[in-house]
Structure 1
Amino acid sequence: MAHVAQQLAAKPGHESLALSAADKGDEVHLHLTWRGPTLALGELDAWLSKPVATAYGDYTGRDALAAHRSDVWVEPVDRGARIVLPLAAAHAPGRLHTPAPVQFYDFGLQAHADRDLGPRRLSELTYTVFDTETTGLDANRDAVVQIAGVRIVGGRLLRDEVFDRLVNPGRGIPAVASEVHGISDAMVADAPDFDEIAREFLFFAEGSVLVAHHAAFDMAFLNRQRSHAGEKLSVPVLCTALLSSRLFAHSNDHTLDGLAARCGVDVESTLRHTALGDSLATAEAFQKLIPLLEALGIQTLDAALTWQRAG
């Protein structure tokens, strides 16, 4: 919405922009309202087809909508118009999962950390599958409020070896964001800032390949934090949304829900739009993608990264 609001604000005659949310039961409708002439759907679609910010690379507004399995429309209101964005309402997450005693640890992980991962087979690698929840969709202005990750070692998802942290974003969490992920200002008031949590997360993920759904979004926040720390983040990253778009080119639905459904992964509704819940769903789906990639001859990390970029 921030990306669209910037475009609207630059158009002559569009005044008094306001963002609000309306409870629709199982959905929350975000309203971007203004005074002035309406907006042609073709123009709105052109805005949504452009990258939302430089930090996101090629990640567009349409990609963000697909990630939320949603769409937008324009409707008239008194003396103006509004854009409506429906989102699935999330229940506030209960007590956050804390790491249980580790049942299994790959003691070879540290030995692999300094090796070139590229030539190694996908089925042999260690992965950290992660997700973030944020105050908004602009990595240049918004901040992380939760980050979680789970590990896949030797093809096995280690459900008891998890990273799950709340983050104090250093600002208020907009109500429209809280409606999506269920995280409030009170929940993060005593949490560490992202500089501290990001260091802990990168230590947790050390020596592994990062995996995320629409990874450009999550990596934009990590890259900005590392840049502020005067460091450059250089790690291999696989994106399940990009892999899905190539493996299932016949489908137009490459959201996490769509991918999970194709892979036979049950997504627990109470955990959807929580960082840990989405990490687990992405990890289970990614496990199903590995044999599909290998069946196509894409057997190493180098091959997967190249194939992913070609999509």
Structure 2
Amino acid sequence: MKITFESDTYTVEGLSVKPLQDRTYCIFDLEGTGIDIAVESVTQFGAMYYKRGEAADKASFASLVRACKPIPEAVEKLTGIKNEAMLQAPHFDEVYKQFCSFIGDQVLVTHAGYEYDLPMLERHCKQFGLKMFTNKVLDTKAMFTYIHPEVTDVVSTDFLIHYYNLNTEGIHRHDALEDCGIIARIFECVLEEYEQRGVDHFTADSGKRMKRFVIPEMYLTKEKGD
């Protein structure tokens, strides 16, 4: 799979998943010290198995990861992950190997992973001398955009929560595993739309562009003393 970034959009090619409906997936999500994939550090992994129609109690994986840089105060407040917790957290290479063992060869599902999670993992794997996994990866943002060309908004998690009228009360947002649960519900809605349209495959198309997310101001504000 190849992801090509432009100033405010990106395209994907070299990916095909079929069938979509009758298979088991592994949904995953990362938390980090910030949004800029070129400089930020992973702080948490979350993953869970998912298949349409199965009970909500899924096999799951979650772990903190010792960041290579301090977590900004604003991000601590957003994620609930404190710098103190990093002192005892395992290093990236240890957690990544556990994660790869958990996901096996399943097709992965993420949200905005083409522009955040995958590039972050690729950079970290290079940094730690690890081999990047080769699993196929579906992104709910791309899947939604492909069937909704009329939508001009940035297709964020919040956008899809409102679009599908999902109740997230009581869910700890920006916790990697709990966000996997939200992604699962979004993915269920997207799969239902694909089924209604009689489409049982996702094939990447370099002619279709996804809008990149805008980095929030909180991530661009330097910590005091920097």
Normalization by structure 2: what TM-score? 0.77
Q: Which of 20, 34, 37 is the equivalent residue of 1:136?
A: 34
Q: Distance in 2 between matches of 1:273 and 1:230?
A: 26
Which residue pairs with 1:284 in the alignment? Answer: 185
Q: Which runs of no fewer than 5 residues in structure 2 stay unpaired?
A: 210-226
| Cα displacement string for residues 187-214 of structure 1 (whole angstroms, at most 9, x for unaligned residues) | 2221101111111111111121111110
Task: Report Cα offsets for 1:167-206 as digits up to 9, x if no partner.
Answer: 1113321213213212111122211011111111111111
Contact between 2:100 and 2:133, CA under 8 Å: does it hold in 1? no
TM-aligned CA distance change 1:177 to 1:61, over 3 Å: farther
Kept in 2, the 8 Å contact 1:147–1:276? The answer is: yes
The reply to whether residue 229 of structure 1 matches residue 176 of structure 2 is: no
Q: Which of the residues 151, 176, 179 maps onto 1:275?
A: 176
Q: Residues 108-257 of structure 1 correspond to what in structure 2 (within 5 A)?
A: 120-153=18-51, 155-156=53-54, 158-216=56-114, 217-227=116-126, 228-251=128-151, 252-257=153-158
Q: What SS is found at the alignment partner of 1:190?
A: coil
What is the Cα deviation at residue 310 of structure 1? Answer: 3.3
SS at match of 1:150: strand
Deviation at 1:299, TM superposition (A): 0.7
1:123 alignment partner, SS class: coil
Distance of 2:168 and 2:5 partners within structure 1? 27
Deviation digits for residues 54-93 of structure 1, max 9, x if unmatched? xx85276789xxxxxxxxxxxxxxxxxxxxxxxxxxxxxx
Is residue 58 of structure 1 aligned with residue 10 of structure 2?
A: no
Shift of 1:161: 1.4
Q: Which residue of 2 aligns with 1:112?
A: none
SS at match of 2:59: strand
Q: Aligned AA for 1:212?
A: T
* Secondary structure, counterpart of 2:21 in structure 1: helix
- Taking structure 1 as reference, are residues 235 and 247 closer, same or farther at Cα in structure 2, changes over 3 Å only? same
Work out the CA distance in 1 between the residues paired with 2:102 and 2:206. Answer: 25
Please say which structure displays the higher CA radius of gyration. 1
Instruction: Assess if the C-alpha contact under 8 Å between 1:149 and 1:163 holds in 2.
Output: yes
Q: Structure with the greater relative contact order (CA < 8 A, sep ≥ 6): 1 or 2?
A: 2
Aligned Cα RMSD in Å? Answer: 2.8
Residues of 1 paired with 2:42 and 2:191: CA distance? 29
Say if 2:161 is the partner of 1:260: yes
Looking at secondary structure, tell me which structure has more helix per residue.
Answer: 1
Q: Aligned residues, how many?
A: 201
Q: Which runs of 5+ in 1 are unaligned?
A: 1-55, 64-116
Q: Summarize the Cα distance change of 1:120–1:249 in structure 2 as closer, same or farther, 3 Å threshold.
A: closer
Taking the aligned partners of 2:100 and 2:113, their CA distance within structure 1 comes to 15
CA contact (8 A) 2:52 2:188 kept: no
Q: Percent identity?
A: 25
User: Partners of 2:85 and 2:17 in 1: how far apart?
Assistant: 43
1:306–1:295 CA distance, 2 compared to 1 (3 A): farther
Moved more, 261-270 or 202-211: 261-270
Tell me how far apart the structure 2 counterparts of residues 127 and 175 of structure 1 sit (CA, whole Å).
34
Cα 1:240–1:226 change in 2 (3 A) is: same
Q: Alpha-carbon deviation of 1:159?
A: 3.1
Structure 2 contact 107–137 (Cα < 8 Å) conserved: yes
For 1:308 and 1:122, the matched residues in 2 are separated by 20
